[in-house]
């Protein structure tokens, strides 16, 4: 029989017509993958999602149910959905460990005139109405009440002659809660002064290595990581490197953020060399780094899903408060940070934080030589899409085929594939990807493509391909030689 049927037997004698439906040739092009985002964060006693287990969330309300109201995960999810409302997000709640950070506010003096104080807690504005002539005790009471009446990462209690603040969760991340008064230049009521003691002495980070086991074999293209300690990042990197490998092929990128001076960020970047992690560095923003990481991951996951090769420069990080002009990095500092593995931001004319260049933390090869092969995050994301497209094409079109040499005389109706068939399929696919603006030089790809049958395993085809990734327009340089 010349034609390969899937379900109609050769020995059937009963009449009349038997028609099977085969969908292997139904799909043209490459089906768009639904990108999955994993958000790692701390939960509290109100979170209903089991700790260390992945739970799907689709908006801030479902995040509250999963992580718990007022938890770190709640704040992260709120920032994420401010930037990407269509995200396909999964929560991985972790249990808090360590000690909670503490800080305080002491109000000195007496209000000679009434007014309003703008207190910024982790970048969120809290208005404290101060009555005329209010003594410090009353002002402390009003301040604590205003803080506890808002959704903030701290709780407040009046103790002696000050307001004591305690982080809502234990751990180092509580130290990042900024306490600022009249950050945008609001007037202070006459006769009073706010004395701030910054949040500190929070310690501890959860062990993410056990939680990583919960990922199983699910494919998460984007992972938002709130912890930047070496142990946590090493554990996540090791898992992501396994997922990047050919035997798993469920690769993903982790997004972290770190607040610090130029020296601190440079030192942090130079200690790492990971093409599966991208760190956004910033200094002076009142927004905690775990929320900045959520905003970064939200924007990256949204636009990478649309086009993995298109750069992210100028995209705004919503809900991230811009640093003051004096705290922003100069261009030469940002350029050096980009050589140290740290992604950078700029401030728009509308005082919004926007991405300048999103890079991985990969800097050198195994010999320590400078290696820009994985510099921009678009490179691993584009390669990931290429592998997905090839795998999808092969599995959809040749799910149950036999394998023969190119010169075998076999009926076209047989479910047989030959090396030359696979080669033509790969060239056609590459042409489609070039048309989509992901790759270039299809002729060079076709010329260098090697597809051959394995001599030791005759059931196997081996391929060597050299795709030419499209590049990103990052720099325009011109010398203008004018004539008078």
Could you tell me if 242 and 347 are in contact, meaning their C-beta atoms sit under 8 angstroms apart? no
Q: How far apart are CA 146 and CA 118, in angstroms?
A: 11
Would residue 287 be called left, alpha or beta, if left means φ above 0 and alpha means ψ between -120 and 50 degrees? beta
Domain limits of the chain? 37-96+211-380, 100-200, 401-484
The CA distance from 67 to 58, in Å, is 13
DSSP 79-146: HHHHH-TT--EEEEEE---SBEEEEEEEEEE--SS-EEEEEEETTEEEEEEE-TT--HHHHHHHHHHH
Q: How far apart are CA 421 and CA 417, in angstroms?
A: 6
pLDDT in tens, 49-61: 999 899 999 999 9
pLDDT tens-digit map of 340-389: 999 999 999 999 999 999 999 999 999 999 999 999 999 999 999 999 99
What's the pLDDT at 222? 98
pLDDT tens figures, 279-309: 999 999 999 999 999 999 999 999 999 999 9
Distance separating alpha carbons of residues 347 and 406, to the nearest angstrom: 59
Q: Is the pLDDT of residue 426 over 90?
A: yes
User: So what's the pLDDT on residue 463?
Assistant: 97
CB atoms within 10 A of CB 436: 15
Tell me whether strands 468-469 and 439-440 are parallel, antiparallel or unpaired: antiparallel
| pLDDT confidence tier of residue 206, bands split at 50, 70 and 90 | very high
**Whole-angstrom distance, CA of residue 318 vs CA of residue 61:** 19
Q: Is the pLDDT of residue 1 over 60?
A: no
Structurally, at CATH architecture level, domain 37-96+211-380 sits in 3-Layer(aba) Sandwich (3.40)
Per residue in 396-409, pLDDT (tens digit) is 999 999 999 999 99
Q: What is the pLDDT of residues 138-187, one digit of tens each?
A: 999 999 999 999 999 999 999 988 999 999 999 999 999 999 999 999 99
Local confidence band at 194 (pLDDT 50, 70, 90 cut-offs): very high
Q: Are 108 and 136 in contact (CB under 8 A)?
A: yes
Does domain 100-200 bear CATH number 2.10.260? no
E strands along 209-311, which residues? 222-224, 253-259, 277-282
E strands, 237-316, are 253-259, 277-282
pLDDT at 350: 93
How far apart CA 392 and CA 386 sit, in angstroms, is 10
Q: Are 275 and 376 in contact (CB under 8 A)?
A: no
Residue 4: the pLDDT is 81
Tens-digit pLDDT profile for residues 79-88: 999 999 999 9
Cα–Cα distance between 183 and 286 in angstroms, integer?
9
Q: Mapping DSSP to helix (H, G, I), strand (E, B) and coil, where does residue 205 land? A: coil
Residues 125-147: pLDDT tens digits?
Answer: 999 999 998 999 999 999 999 99
């Amino acid at each position: 029989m010349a034609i390969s049927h899937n379900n109609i037997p050769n020995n059937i004698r009963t009449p009349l017509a038997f028609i099977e439906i085969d969908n292997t040739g139904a799909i043209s092009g490459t089906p768009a993958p639904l990108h999955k985002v994993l958000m790692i964060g701390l939960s509290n006693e109100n979170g209903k999602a089991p700790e260390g287990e992945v739970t799907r969330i689709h908006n801030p309300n479902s995040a509250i149910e999963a992580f718990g109201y007022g938890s770190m995960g709640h704040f992260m999810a709120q920032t994420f959905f401010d930037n990407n409302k269509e995200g396909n997000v999964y929560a991985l709640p972790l249990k808090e460990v360590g000690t909670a950070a503490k800080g305080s506010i002491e109000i000195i003096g007496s209000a000679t005139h009434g007014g309003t104080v703008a207190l910024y807690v982790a970048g969120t504005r809290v208005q404290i109405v101060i009555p005329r002539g209010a003594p410090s005790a009353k002002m402390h009471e009003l301040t604590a009440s205003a803080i506890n009446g808002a959704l903030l990462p701290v709780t407040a209690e009046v103790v002696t002659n000050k307001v004591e603040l305690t982080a809502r969760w234990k751990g180092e991340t509580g130290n990042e809660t900024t306490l600022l008064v009249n950050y945008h230049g609001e007037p202070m009521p006459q006769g009073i002064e706010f004395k701030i003691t910054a949040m500190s002495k929070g310690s501890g980070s959860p062990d993410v290595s056990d939680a990583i086991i919960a990922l199983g074999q699910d494919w998460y293209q984007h992972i938002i990581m709130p912890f930047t300690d070496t142990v946590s990042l090493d554990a996540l990197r090791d898992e992501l490197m396994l997922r990047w490998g050919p035997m798993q092929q469920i690769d993903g990128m982790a997004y972290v953020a770190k607040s610090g001076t130029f020296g601190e960020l440079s030192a942090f970047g130079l200690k790492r060399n990971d093409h599966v992690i991208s760190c956004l560095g910033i200094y002076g923003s009142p927004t905690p780094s775990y929320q900045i990481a959520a905003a970064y991951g939200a924007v990256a996951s949204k636009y990478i899903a649309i086009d993995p090769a298109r750069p992210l420069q100028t995209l705004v990080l919503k809900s991230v408060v811009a640093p003051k002009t004096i705290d922003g990095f100069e261009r030469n500092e940002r350029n050096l940070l980009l050589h140290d593995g740290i992604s950078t931001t700029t401030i728009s004319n509308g005082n919004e934080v926007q991405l300048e260049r999103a890079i991985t933390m990969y800097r050198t090869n195994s010999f320590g030589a400078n290696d820009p092969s994985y510099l921009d995050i678009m490179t691993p994301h584009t390669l990931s899409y290429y592998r997905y497209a090839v795998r999808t094409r092969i599995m959809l079109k040749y799910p149950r085929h036999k394998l023969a040499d190119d010169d075998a005389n076999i009926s076209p109706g047989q479910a047989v594939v030959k090396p030359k068939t696979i080669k033509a399929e790969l060239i056609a696919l590459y042409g489609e990807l070039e048309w989509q603006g992901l790759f270039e030089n299809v002729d060079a790809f076709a010329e260098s493509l090697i597809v051959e049958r394995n001599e030791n395993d005759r059931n196997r085809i081996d391929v060597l391909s050299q795709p030419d990734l499209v590049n990103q327009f990052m720099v325009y340089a011109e010398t203008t030689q004018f004539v008078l």
